[in-house]
Structure 1
């Protein structure tokens, strides 16, 4: 059977050895499993501030525990981060200077200066970087963006709503402190920026820890709205984007998609980027662009 989108060609390179930083719920639920399943990657080692937590993440896959961050760097050729943004920003700079490729979470950092330091270091060292903007790796998202490219959009509205901040293991300290703008905002800003036109300014109203509204102005004159909350009790997380224009309406809704379909695509594209040195464009530079929009929203309240 010839290779197709549903039947990709066999992996012809040696698996990329990826070290994982972090041992929280996202490291367990996504990063460790995705990296260990291969065939494009192997989980080379796990390092976390608490060795016992790192051991819990690594054990199901038989991966070793790194005693220090430096030991992790010595064991791998790429580093995946599943830690709070402030920690990621510091360690990613060190990893890039050591010549390691980076699989980065959003947002890059908690401040624009820290995000700029990551992106600048990646540019200076020439290492491959890729951002885990989950939805970008799903076929439904890519089909929506392809259709949006041929649509004359006058305005858009969108939402990303869930209740994970109310309770449970994802109600982590940085999420509770900085709220939906930093946790959910990058996803919607990225989708609106790609689907409508580049965003030139963002204005925010509300409380990021409860409910926040973003008004975005795009360089084609369109205006979009984004509603964000991680503190509403809904049956399941809701992500929806509606584009309106002279030719009709285009809707993107994640209610029926399986996010597990994103992970093999993410893994394959990251490994390919590392082996070929050719990135996907969803990289640290793009992460810095999203960070500038977050900073713009904070300043224009």
Structure 2
């Protein structure tokens, strides 16, 4: 599979490009970015071709990996799908429900495969734990805390305009939901939402499976307090999401594998664009309560 990269920011440089360049199952066929000079630098670093025009790249690849802000990702992903390219997308799929829906419809109508890279879902320990708890059932409630220090350190992501505007709800909220939804079921309603320090958001969710969950999401946590925790309580007792043994680079390689499998078999991946769209719908409902 020939795969092109859309985007040249820190995430593309740290994860996407190295993972694509080092993956034996794909040909890293090119890079397009909103800044041509940065696209050339990244392409040269990984021995591939820079593209000045996104449509030229779409015409010459089988798939695209997207490392762009969600408001840029969504229209380009729709364009890529309609050009017949499989989609390896970042989270959130979109911060507009309508734009996300357009991506899903384009992928379905074109028959292309899609995978949204939600890091935890592509880490073996976490993925196995999620599947085990989903099979076990009988959960009464869950607590998820996803606390980042992006805005309280010198993180390369701290200056991101979309993160500054949308905050933790849209940045780390998808990670928390990607763990909770397959275990507790879809969200029937966002029962409550409240703001905390900085960009912190507190949510209470009512799930179709009968359980409730609480989420605390932040990018402004003190560095010493940062980290992710998911705890389930139910008939089987108490269990917590295990720590991952590897990082985002290895997880992204598994996401590439998942796209290859979905494209080859025609079977949708659990983290496809439709799942990403559902996550965006839940976050949009929470955002409406937060700003209402």
* Residue pair 2:140, 2:210 contacting (<8 A) in 1 also: yes
Contact 1:44–1:76 at 8 Å: present in 2 too?
yes
Q: In the alignment, does 2:31 pair up with 1:46?
A: yes
CA deviation after TM superposition for structure 1 residue 118, in Å: 0.9
**Residue pair 1:177, 1:209 contacting (<8 A) in 2 also:** no
Task: Name which of 225, 228, 237 aligns with 1:248.
Answer: 237
Q: How does 1:84-233 map to 2 (within 5 A)?
A: 84-149=69-134, 150-166=136-152, 167-171=154-158, 172-202=160-190, 203-206=192-195, 210-233=199-222
Q: 2:88 aligns to what SS in structure 1?
A: strand
Contact kept, 8 Å, 1:204 with 1:213, in 2: the verdict is: yes
Question: What RMSD over aligned residues (CA atoms) do the two structures have, in Å?
Answer: 1.6
Separation of aligned partners in 2, 1:113 and 1:241: 30
- 1:155–1:222 contact (8 Å) kept in structure 2: yes
Aligned length: 285
**1:55-70 to 2 correspondences below 5 Å:** 55-70=40-55
1:299: Cα distance to partner? 2.2
Q: Deviations over 1:92-137 (max 9, x none)?
A: 1111111111111111111111111111111111111111111101
What is the CA-CA distance between 1:186 and the residue it aligns to? 0.7
- Counterpart position of 1:3: none
For residue 76 of structure 1, report the CA deviation from its aligned partner: 0.8
Q: Is the 8 Å Cα contact of residues 59 and 83 (structure 2) preserved in structure 1? A: no
Is residue 129–residue 242 contact of structure 2 (8 Å, CA) maintained in 1? no
In the TM superposition, 1:258-273 aligns within 5 A as 258-259=246-247, 260-273=249-262
Question: C-alpha separation between the residues in 1 aligned to 2:225 and 2:203?
Answer: 22
**Equivalent-residue separation in structure 2 for 1:237 and 1:59 (angstroms):** 35
Post-superposition shift, 1:245?
A: 1.0
How far is the alpha carbon of 1:225 from its aligned partner?
0.5
CA distance in 1 between counterparts of 2:22 and 2:279 reads 30
Write out per-residue CA displacement over residues 223-251 of structure 1, whole angstroms, 9 at most, x where no aligned residue: 10111101112248511100001321011
Segments of 5+ residues of structure 1 without an aligned counterpart are 1-15
Q: CA deviation at 1:221?
A: 1.9
Q: Does the 8 Å CA contact 1:180/1:208 hold for their aligned counterparts?
A: no
- Give the secondary-structure state (helix, strand or coil) at the position aligned to 1:187: helix
Secondary structure of the structure 2 residue equivalent to 1:164:
coil
TM-score normalized by the length of structure 2: 0.93
Single out whichever of 180-189 and 260-269 deviates more from structure 2: 260-269
Shift of 1:56: 2.2
2:197/2:220 contact within 8 Å kept: no
